[in-house]
Amino acid sequence: MPGNTFGQYFRITTWGESHGPALGVVIDGCPPGLVLDEAVIQKTLDKRRPGKGGAAESPRKEPDQVKILSGIFEGHTTGTPILLIIRNQDAQSRAYDQLRDVFRPGHGDYTYWKKYGIRDHRGGGRASGRETAARVAAAAVAQVFLNTVGISVIAYTVALGKVKAQKRDLDAVKQNRLFCPDLKAAKKMEERITDVRSRGDSVGGIVEILATGVPPGLGEPVFDKLDAELAKGLMSIGAVKGVEIGAGFRAAELLGSENNDPLAPEGFLSNNSGGILAGISNGDYLVVRTAVKPIPSISKEQDTMTVSEKPVKLKVGGRHDASAIPRIVHVCEAMVRLVLTDHILRARALTPEIFGPKFF
Amino acid sequence: MPGNTFGQYFRITTWGESHGPALGVVIDGCPPGLVLDEAVIQKTLDKRRPGKGGAAESPRKEPDQVKILSGIFEGHTTGTPILLIIRNQDAQSRAYDQLRDVFRPGHGDYTYWKKYGIRDHRGGGRASGRETAARVAAAAVAQVFLNTVGISVIAYTVALGKVKAQKRDLDAVKQNRLFCPDLKAAKKMEERITDVRSRGDSVGGIVEILATGVPPGLGEPVFDKLDAELAKGLMSIGAVKGVEIGAGFRAAELLGSENNDPLAPEGFLSNNSGGILAGISNGDYLVVRTAVKPIPSISKEQDTMTVSEKPVKLKVGGRHDASAIPRIVHVCEAMVRLVLTDHILRARALTPEIFGPKFF
Amino acid sequence: MPGNTFGQYFRITTWGESHGPALGVVIDGCPPGLVLDEAVIQKTLDKRRPGKGGAAESPRKEPDQVKILSGIFEGHTTGTPILLIIRNQDAQSRAYDQLRDVFRPGHGDYTYWKKYGIRDHRGGGRASGRETAARVAAAAVAQVFLNTVGISVIAYTVALGKVKAQKRDLDAVKQNRLFCPDLKAAKKMEERITDVRSRGDSVGGIVEILATGVPPGLGEPVFDKLDAELAKGLMSIGAVKGVEIGAGFRAAELLGSENNDPLAPEGFLSNNSGGILAGISNGDYLVVRTAVKPIPSISKEQDTMTVSEKPVKLKVGGRHDASAIPRIVHVCEAMVRLVLTDHILRARALTPEIFGPKFF
Amino acid sequence: MPGNTFGQYFRITTWGESHGPALGVVIDGCPPGLVLDEAVIQKTLDKRRPGKGGAAESPRKEPDQVKILSGIFEGHTTGTPILLIIRNQDAQSRAYDQLRDVFRPGHGDYTYWKKYGIRDHRGGGRASGRETAARVAAAAVAQVFLNTVGISVIAYTVALGKVKAQKRDLDAVKQNRLFCPDLKAAKKMEERITDVRSRGDSVGGIVEILATGVPPGLGEPVFDKLDAELAKGLMSIGAVKGVEIGAGFRAAELLGSENNDPLAPEGFLSNNSGGILAGISNGDYLVVRTAVKPIPSISKEQDTMTVSEKPVKLKVGGRHDASAIPRIVHVCEAMVRLVLTDHILRARALTPEIFGPKFF
């Protein structure tokens, strides 16, 4: 099976290259009867959109205007496939001419070449971060469904390089361009990005995703566990190099008596599990973190080689973000929405008396 | 789709509970013509087997004798499904009577109950670590295939609690019971486990997996990326709470100029990528790490509740390991073998001229 | 994806060869809480069992004793995989020595050889009709579920060679060994089989399957339509060469005004559709027919060739049925049960408010 | 899993409604390096296109202009998803206002309503025959691949109502509008359609599909057999009510000694099997037939009911074909192309030494 599809029941297939005429997604398995229009999707998409001028961002200006071409009738989903399309408008492919025969370090240029024997060098082709616009659009539809069952997902920046958020003030998240839940740290992060960009470099960070209202029982043991699927979904985002749930890597240092979350009639008394036990949600908050690497396209000179394997020095031109953060925040949020939606549908199939309409 | 199947082409479905009559796996999609017998699988399985008396291990004694019931003809695989079966012999279900109506903290007891409305409380049922014996057996078959294309996979313990390996001496791995690539650290780890066990507690750790001989080009963008599938496979192991590739979470602190691996005709000059770029293997070593939580079954008293939601104190009896390490080392190794085998078959489907018999 | 799995949610994977130690099936996705024991499955399996001595049947005597090895706790399904195993006991592989290097006409000998480069020649290996015992066993579990929602499936013989049933007297079906709904025709069919067998030949027939209690709304357009899935399931039975729904091939000769089934508040006024419109069940009876070819193993001399492509004459020895009918009747029934169960679960995922517990 | 995807490796997902803004398909899993442009697809699509004015056809005029939006770079496929889009231009939705509250006999109106609780009544919505334009477009891409391995697929009309082709003159197929391989019969068929149309009625028929150049070894036992997948693919076409392979339903009347195809070094001496043994291609011609029901939309008055279950008389207006033949001929051809392409890729995964580039 090829790899452009995600989800078993709420099933999305993304398509399109960074410098092709358009990109988009087909959603198959969306429940019928949901109220949906382009404005709802556009609103979510606008958050991820490039060209808003933040310190971290590429100057490429894409309106990212989404159109719904199928699956809707008189303002409601019908249960048939929903096709979303976004036209590319500001692709400046000429800027990539220097890259036709050169492999950029840290990029998929070399691996696509080795895998397929052919590659679209313009803007990263299919490996471009632009592909994630389709995921965010699909997840906006997923959220319409999640709203009907009371689940919320929010992602935020908890580290940019070595600058770390010291608190989780969710109200602060929307009050700064980096979606950091700590306004003081946010300020330092902005400064850090400006500094890094001025030196022609880039910087990584850590995103945390929090989901509330998740009922116990989601996740399909033993391989399609909720944490396994979250890990897959998040790791499938280009710049992500690590995923952890709850205490995550810190759990490796703990004793069982420290790490176990005591159960009480009023709920779990701590949340080292991150809301998942044995791969199934336990009703507590879902907490996941992803490690985001620095964007590889930098204007600093780097060693690399050409397609004919000759060494060469390269300064990457084109228009690039100085950090995948904050835009990747929305993509992480999107993947969690997609996973949760899919797993509710899967749970319903087996036990509608537990996960059917009565439940929520 | 239910969740007991892993892989798209080299496809395994595990079955069986800890205290049922047997457990096992069906492998569908194994290439024909491989030389295979029970001894090969048994050898791998013996490494993971409980009851060898290491400091970390449960006293449960299971011979874990594997039988092949199909898919083999005159010592060769035939391309038809291979059924492997392991009988349970030392299940002492009585020891679990105390758990019939109580949820153990840190376990799947509560979540299975909420998901299915019914659960097999004996030894964790399907959520038991015993299920991983089937994965290890299946991966032994996968390794027979990987041998034909020159791929090796080795996993080892790089941290136990706060004790960390200071070097990667692969020769040392087989010379200590914890499979640690640093004999000095191994000694401290053994002491740590003995200490933790004596206090009725348990401890976590970190496992690193290294694969060599991996050709460039494995992994199916954009969702079934090699790192995404590794993350899913590894996170689907019961005790794993985090997965990172290459520099992993450390990459979040780096600059692009530090993190990018320069390409040269002789290969990559560093390996922060962990051997994966844009979700596709780049020909370098594959390096993955997993965070392993402390085993939740401890004999220390804990707060929890009953099925009827009454608070209760619990000391977990039964026979348990004091750490998932080192046995989980073999399970991590197994999952990487399964992922790589599956992806070679998938790559062959699309481009046999690149990944077919000429290639390797 | 390899081919030994059927169903998306109620998902079965069969394994085992005719002359291996055992055969069986893993069922993944069975709803929890169903009352299930071996006796229920055995009862269904006994119907298909060989060696009962009917005129059409092989003298191979297999007790076909089924064991449940997982997925059951205290007499109920748990939602985890159910492993069913049937030991082979009366395999006389010696009888097949003559076939080691010869391709039997009409069999999979040649195609398995060409596909895999290796084949288990004993009793047809994986291509043997014995594999269907696993399907029938799995379908017995499916029927336990179908009982809870009021769906019944019955299959019967409507033609054996040129002898055709003239009526559909369902009471008659159990009163004759050929499961023919017309006792007069049944008698002629028995005579026909005896005659054909005495001449060392075999004969085909037609099986009709009727399902009642099927609610409207099952089937997933546009590719996984209910009729498409039924066609796949039935055509995947070894001897089946044709499938038709409702009026089937006769519809090709009709006018629209003749073929359309008028709708009325009390239901459809005719049933040329066979209970399926646009790939979705319409609430009427489901009616499907399959064409069954004559069993290719005959003791009459035939022209064929050896593995080294030398022409040779062959009289197939071993023990064979003179017709796939009546045993295939139970296999057809089984496949329809599996398809319906799977589609109810799939429908529940999307619209539990329609197909959830309230509905049935 | 929802139902709008077909194929495991060469995997298509169609989307779009008859009266929405557009329809199309995503192809995931197309091998890289194929020469492809819009003209190649357009040429195939033009054959199926409505509005060419044949006796059987609807007067709806759709240019069916296909655009490729992704997956192509400098005239070659890249291994990434190919999005094909066709704009709807001549949709006259007003004509369907009469159908908003009425179920057309023989249509999916009632079943979509029961399944989803909502339906797009305009032109059949997703259940419209227009959806098959996307399949034909995708199959044109598949054929580009099949050309590289020497496989041809041709479909033709062998019966229209009771008028049957008496011979298989493949040269004749392109010489008449009904794609009949018998020019005399073609003439009678044209007359028959004209007559039926004049009476406000419609008529069914039979299509045969022939594939040549198919190597032995395609098909994945035991469920994804080549014939099982062909049956599913063909039965998923709206008007198809029956599928048979080789001798098909006639095989039910034959003796084993008549039906078996003798093997000889030069090949099979007859082809009752239709080129498939034990679900695997045998290297002979592939021969499949489908029964096509008469189109249910007729202007003759019919009994039906409204959404509120009141009896009503209906004459279906709008623009409809008088027979699904001949346009469905191209759709049958398309489905066989899709199945064969998918199975070559699947066979390659398991045994590239047999089905890789050396083979063909």
Minimum CA–CA partner of A110 in chain B: B282
Mutation pick from B112, B135, B277, B359 vs chain A, by most beta carbons of A within 10 Å, is B277
Nearest to C262 by CA among D305, D201, D122, D306: D305
pLDDT for residue D319: 66
CA–CA separation, C23 and C17 (whole Å): 6
In 3D, which of C360, C355, C321 has the Cα closest to residue C9? C355
Nearest to C251 among D2, D221, D241 (CB): D241
- Of the pLDDT bands very low, low, confident and very high (cuts 50, 70, 90), residue D63 is confident
One pLDDT digit (tens) per residue for chain A, 360 residues: 899 999 999 999 999 999 899 999 999 999 999 999 999 999 999 987 765 656 666 666 778 899 999 999 999 999 999 999 999 987 676 777 778 899 999 999 999 999 999 988 887 889 999 999 999 999 999 999 999 999 999 999 999 999 999 999 999 999 999 999 999 999 999 999 999 999 999 999 999 999 999 999 999 999 999 999 999 999 999 999 999 999 999 999 999 999 999 999 999 999 999 999 999 999 999 999 999 999 999 999 999 999 999 999 999 876 678 999 999 999 999 999 999 999 999 999 999 988 877 555
How far is the C-alpha of C72 from the C-alpha of C77, rounded, in Å? 5
Residues in B closer than 8 angstroms to C5, CB to CB, are 5, 11, 13, 28
Cβ-based neighbours of B139, under 8 Å, separated by 6 or more: B44, B333, B334, B335, B337, B338
DSSP label at residue B341? H
Residue of B nearest to C74 (CA): B120
Please tell me which of the candidates A31, A349, A358 has its beta carbon nearest to residue C9. A349
Question: D324 is written with which tokens?
Answer: 């699904």
What values do phi and psi take at C193, rounded to 5?
A: -65, -45
pLDDT of residue D177: 94
Note the pLDDT tens digit of each residue in B27-69. 999 999 999 999 999 999 998 776 565 666 666 677 889 999 9
Beta strands in D213-264 (DSSP E): 240-245, 263-264
Which residue did the predictor score with more confidence, B287 or B360? Answer: B287
Task: Say if residue A12 is exposed, middle or buried (CB neighbours under 10 Å; 0-12, 13-18, 19+).
Answer: buried
The pLDDT of residue D90: 73
Interface of D with B (CB under 8 A): 1, 9, 29, 31-32, 79-80, 221, 345-346, 348-353, 355-357
* Cα dihedral across residues C11, C15, C18, C22: positive or negative: negative
Residues contacting D52, CB < 8 A, separation 6+: none
Size of interface B-D (CB pairs under 8 A): 51
Residue C33 to residue B5, Cβ atoms within 8 A: no
Cβ distance C263 to D8 less than 8 Å, yes or no, reads no
| Distances D160 to B337, C44, C318, D296, D329 between C-alpha atoms, Å | 56, 43, 46, 16, 12
The CB-side HSE value for A168 (13 A sphere, CA atoms) comes to 8
| Contact: C351, A29; criterion CB under 8 Å | no
Which residues of chain D does A71 touch, with a Cβ-Cβ cutoff of 8 Å?
A: 15, 17
Kindly list the residues from chain C whose CB atom is less than 8 angstroms away from the CB atom of residue D203: 254-256
Q: What is the ipTM of this complex?
A: 0.96
d(CA A22, nearest CA chain D) in Å: 6
Q: Do D11 and A1 touch (CB under 8 A)?
A: yes
- The amino acid that residue D53 corresponds to is G
Residue A64 CB-density burial (10 A; 0-12 exposed, 13-18 middle, 19+ buried): buried
Of A126, A256, A309, the CB nearest to B296: A256
Nearest by CB to residue D350, choosing from B29, B350, B355, is: B29
Residues C237-289 have pLDDT tens digits of 999 999 999 999 999 999 999 999 999 999 999 999 999 999 999 999 999 99
Q: What's the CATH number of domain A5-355, 3.30.70.141, 3.60.150.10, 1.10.3720.10, 3.30.460.10? A: 3.60.150.10
Question: Quick check: B170 and B154 in contact, CB under 8 A?
Answer: yes
State the average pLDDT for chain C.
93
- pLDDT tens digits, C57-111: 666 677 889 999 999 999 999 999 999 999 998 767 777 777 889 999 999 999 9
Cross-chain Cβ contact A83/D28 below 8 Å: no
Q: Token pair for residue C304? A: 């064929």
The percent of residues above 70 in pLDDT, for chain B, comes to: 95
- CB contacts, 8 Å: D26 with chain A: 4, 13, 15, 26
Across the interface, which of D220, D282, D311 has its CB nearest the CB of C264? D311
Chain D environment of A118 (Cβ under 8 Å): 32-33, 73, 76, 78-79
Which chain C residues have a beta carbon less than 8 Å from that of D276?
111
Chain D closest-CA separation from residue A70 CA (Å): 5
Distance from CA of C140 to the nearest CA of B (A): 19
Interface of C with A (CB under 8 A): 1, 9, 29, 31-32, 79-80, 221, 345-346, 348-353, 355-357
Does the pTM surpass 0.90? The reply is yes
In total, the C-beta contacts within 8 angstroms joining chain A to chain B are 399
B297 → chain A, closest CA residue: A256
Is C300 in contact with D256 (Cβ distance < 8 A)? yes
Name the residue with tokens 């997925």: C71
Contact D79 B350 (CB under 8 A): yes
B279 interaction partners in chain D (CB closer than 8 Å): none
Compute the nearest-CA separation of D212 from chain B (Å).
Answer: 22
CB spacing of B219 vs A1 below 8 angstroms: no
Cβ neighbours of residue C97 closer than 8 Å, sequence gap 6 or more:
none
Q: What is the pLDDT of residue B229?
A: 98
CB atoms within 10 A of CB C301: 12
Residues in chain D closer than 8 A to C282 (CB atoms): 110-111, 114
Quote the minimal CA–CA distance from B122 to chain A in Å.
Answer: 15
Q: Measured between beta carbons, which residues in chain B are less than 8 angstroms from residue C32?
A: 116-118
From B214, B156, B210, select the one nearest B185 (Cα to Cα): B156
Q: What is the mean pLDDT of residues B138-144?
A: 98
* Best mutation target, C8, C351, C354, C359, to test chain A (most A CBs within 10 A): C351
- Strand A205-212 versus strand A152-160 pairing type: antiparallel
Q: Residues D304, C263: contact at Cβ < 8 Å?
A: yes
The nearest CA of chain A is from the CA of D100 a distance in Å of: 12
Over residues C223-248, the mean pLDDT reads: 98
Cβ–Cβ pairs < 8 A, chains A and C = 52
Residue predicted with more confidence, B354 or C165: C165
Q: Report chain B residues whose CB lies below 8 A from the CB of A305.
A: 263-265
Residue B360 above 60 pLDDT?
no
pLDDT at residue B121 greater than cutoff 90: no
* CB contacts, 8 Å: C356 with chain A: 348, 352-353, 356-358
Phi, psi of D318 (to 5 degrees): 75, -175
The residues, any chain, with a CB within 8 Å of residue C242's CB and separated by 6 or more, are: C290, C291, D242, D243, D244, D245, D248, D249, D251, D252
Per domain, the residue ranges of chain D are: 5-355
H, E, C per residue of chain A: CCECEECCCCEEEEEECCCCCEEEEEEECCCCCCECCHHHHHHHHHHHCCCCCCCCCCCCCCCCCEEECCCEECCEECCCCEEEEEECCCCCHHHHHHHCCECCCCCCHHHHHHHHCCCCCHHHHHHCCCHHHHHHHHHHHHHHHHHHHCCEEEEEEEEECCEECCCCCHHHHHHCCCCCCCHHHHHHHHHHHHHHHHCCCCECEEEEEEEECCCCCCCECECECHHHHHHHHHHCCCCEEEEEECCHHHHHHCEHHHHCCCEECCEECCCCCCCEECCEECCCCEEEEEEECCCCCCCCCEEEEECCCCEEEECCCCCCCCCCCCHHHHHHHHHHHHHHHHHHHHHHHHCHHHHCCCCC
CA–CA min distance A112, chain D (Å): 9
Question: What pLDDT is stored for residue B290 in this prediction?
Answer: 98
CA distance A318 to A98: 10
Mutate to test the interface with B, among A8, A113, A202, A257 (most CBs of B within 10 A): A257
pLDDT in tens, B262-298: 999 999 999 999 999 999 999 999 999 999 999 999 9
